[in-house]
Chains A and B, each alone.
Chain A
C-alpha cells in the first residue's frame, strides 16, 4: 500500500482522543444528572458503545488503511464477523432463557445480587475496622 497518499494521522489521532473523552464523560454525565431508565441507557449506549464503534471504524479505515486495501481483506473480516453472529445467535437462543427441554438454569439473579451486596458490606466493615484499628494504634504510639 505504499503507492497511496497517507491521511493526516495526527488529525485522526486527535479525533480519536476527542471521541475517547466524550465516551468517558457521557456515562459520567448520566450519573451526575441522575438519569434513570431509558434516558440513562440511551446516553450510556450512544456515548460509550456508539463512540466505540466510531473509534474502531477510524482505526480500521485510516490506521489499518482498510479504505485503500484490496477488497479481499474487508471480505475476510466481514466473513469472520458473520461467522461470529452465526455462533452468537445459534447459542443465544438457549442462553437467554432460564429453562428448556429437560433443563433448568440454577442461577438466581436475586441470590447473585444479594451475594455481591453482602460481600461489599463485609469489605466496607473490614475497611472501617482496619482504619479504626490503625487510628487507635497511632494514638497509643503518641501516648
Chain B
C-alpha cells in the first residue's frame, strides 16, 4: 500500500520521528514499571517477614532461565539492527525471528511457572505479595507478547519487502527496555528471599 510519508525527522532534536516516539513510550513505561517496582520495594521494607516468606515460593531456576532468554534476545535484536543498517534483509529477518523464538521461550517458561504456582494455590488473590507478583510479571509478559507480534509484522511486512528499515531499530529499543524491566523484576521476585 503506497502512502505519503509526512515527517521522518524532527529538526529540533535531530532524532527521526519514529525513534523519538519510541523514546517517549519508554519514558512513559519508566513511570508505569518504576511505580510498580517502587511500590513493591515500599511494601517489602514495611512488611519484610511475610513478603520474604511468600517470595521463598517463587522458582529461581525459571526466573534465571527467563533472564537468560531475554539477555540473549537483546543480543539478537542488536544483531538484527546491525544487519538492517547493512540492508541485509535475510540476516535481519533471521535475527528478528530468533529474537521472537527466545521471547516464545520466555512466555513458555512463564506460562509453566504460572500454572505450577496456581496449582499450588498461589493465585492473584492469595496475598499482597502474589497480587504484586502477578500484576508486575503479567504486565511485563504482555509487553513481551506485544514486542513479539510487532517484530513478526516488521519482519514479514517491512523487511521482507525491503522497506522501513528504521523500524528494526525502533522495536529493538522497545525490546531492550522490556529486558531492563526484567533485569529489575528478577532480583525483586526471585533472588531476594
Contacts and interface: CB of A to CB of B under 8 A. Distances in A.
A9 interface: yes
What range describes how many residues of B lie at the interface? 35 or more
A113 B46 CA distance: 13
A33 interface: no
B42 A95 contact: yes
A70 B50 contact: no
Interface string A1-28: 1100010011001001100100110010
A56 B180 contact: yes
Interface string B50-93: 10011000001000100110011011011100100100000000
A35 interface: no
A69 B77 CA distance: 18
A2 B85 contact: yes
Interface in A78-117: 79-81, 83-84, 87-88, 92, 95-96, 107, 109, 112-113, 115-117
Given A17-B71, A84-B38, A123 B121 contact: yes
A39 B172 CA distance: 39
A63 B193 CA distance: 30
B53 A116 contact: yes
Contact of A76 (B27, B71, B191, B192): B27
A30 B74 CA distance: 30
Max chain B C-beta neighbours (<10 A), residue from A49, A80, A107, A115: A80
B47 A112 contact: yes
A72 B13 contact: yes
What range describes how many residues of A lie at the interface? 35 or more
B34 interface: yes
Contact of A123 (B49, B64, B120, B177): B120
A59 B183 contact: yes
B176 interface: yes
B23 interface: yes
Contacts of A77: 23, 26-27, 30
A72 B24 CA distance: 11
A88 B35 CA distance: 7
Interface of B: 13-15, 20, 23-24, 26-28, 30-31, 34-35, 38-39, 42, 45-47, 49-50, 53-54, 60, 64, 67-68, 71-72, 74-75, 77-79, 82, 85, 120-121, 126-128, 169, 172-173, 176-177, 179-180, 183-184, 186-187, 191-193
Given A56-B183, A109-B50, 20 more contacts: A16-B71, A20-B64, A24-B191, A44-B191, A49-B187, A52-B187, A64-B177, A70-B14, A70-B15, A72-B20, A80-B28, A83-B31, A87-B31, A88-B38, A92-B38, A109-B47, A115-B50, A116-B50, A116-B54, A119-B126
